[in-house]
Amino acid sequence: MTYFVFMMLMALITGLVAVASNPTPYFAALGLVMAAGVGCGVLIGSGGPFLSLVLFLIYLGGMLVVFAYSAALAADPFPEAWGSRSVAGYVLVYLVGVVLTAGLFWGGWHEGSWVVTDGLKEFSMLRGDVEGVAMMYSLGGVMLVICAWVLLLTLLVVLELTRGLSRGTLRAV
């Protein structure tokens, strides 16, 4: 299981480098979807399958909106791919930075300290993610409503900004 989580974390770093190094929103959105999927895989490896599923659905919904608007604003006839020289240079710089940072902290990581949520299941009556869902709905209801309103406001602001001078989605009738 440790090797599975280690490989997922390596794929997460690769996806984040793909997002950071690409100036074109088409390929950066692909890297973002990959990073979100792999991050949810890390959560599954830690013992939270329900939380992982909820986060993945939220990430996909949010990224779909962001990708649609960024692709509409940046209508590039010839987007730069990961094989171009400038993007490959950014990828190399970011990967060297990741390797150097990992070299600084490599001695402090211990493989045996990774404990999943259900590692001590004989002492618990419920699974760890079920308890988290109950806490989210009991104490986080107000925050959930506030976040929904903020997302709606953000959607309306983005729609108004992308409208421009022509008639757009929000128009006076």
Residue with tokens 């990430």: 59
pLDDT of residue 63: 72
Task: List the single range of 4-8, 46-50, 88-92, 106-110 with lowest mean pLDDT.
Answer: 106-110
**pLDDT score for 93:** 92
Asked if residue 92 belongs to a domain, the reply is: yes
Q: How many domains does the chain have?
A: 2
pTM over 0.85: no
pLDDT for 122 equals 65
Kindly report, residue by residue over 113-134, the tens digit of the pLDDT.
566 655 666 666 666 666 666 6
Q: Which domain holds residue 170?
A: 140-173
* CB of 42 closer than 8 Å to CB of 8: yes
Same structural domain for residues 16 and 84? yes
Percentage of the chain surpassing pLDDT 90? 4
Q: Answer whether residue 121 is part of any domain.
A: no
Axis crossing angle, helix 49-73 with helix 141-163, rounded to the nearest 10: 10
pLDDT tens for each residue of 28-82: 777 788 888 898 888 888 777 777 888 888 877 777 777 777 676 666 677 777 7
Task: Report if residue 36 sits inside a domain.
Answer: yes
Query: Are both 81 and 43 inside the same structural domain?
Result: yes
Is 135 a domain residue?
A: no
Q: Is residue 35 part of a domain?
A: yes
Verify that 145 and 104 share a domain, yes or no: no
Sign of CA dihedral 19, 22, 23, 26: negative
